[in-house]
Amino acid sequence: MSLAWYIAAERDVAGLDIFCNGKSIAHSDEERLEQLCLELGVSPLMDFFSVDPQETENLLEAYLDNDEEPLSTPEEQWFPAADGLVTIRALYNYLTEHPGQLENQQAVLDDLSEYLRILQTLRQHQVRWHLAIDI
């Protein structure tokens, strides 16, 4: 399964490679990650999730019969990179200091490190972002 959580930027930033693996974090214990965020007093990762309405419509068209009513898609949301950095840093720091909290914890830390790199650059360029899911 190739499920991955990745960062989508509202616009491109010259010189920024926005690719991040995101597979380890997508396959980690989502409930445990949310619990950790709440314990740390930060927004859970999925609070930053949003989708491109066009991508959603394309997926729905592929799976709906032509006779079915089209579904409305939610408006895409964008978040300040600084807000995401608060959550990602808190998770990264906690998991670095507390081994054994998650299965494949080092791989999750690697994903979080990539998110930090991207979000720091997006913040410097005042570009908003959201978490997206590649299925």
Residue-wise pLDDT tens digits, 54-94: 765 655 565 566 556 655 666 899 999 999 999 999 999 99
Q: pLDDT (tens digit, 9 = 90+) per residue, 94-116?
A: 999 999 999 999 999 999 999 99
The yes-or-no verdict on residue 48 having pLDDT over 70 is: yes
Mean pLDDT along residues 16-27: 94
The secondary structure of residue 63, as a DSSP letter, is: H
Residue 27: phi and psi, rounded to 5, are -100, 5
pTM: 0.86
- Predicted local distance difference test score (pLDDT) of residue 34: 96
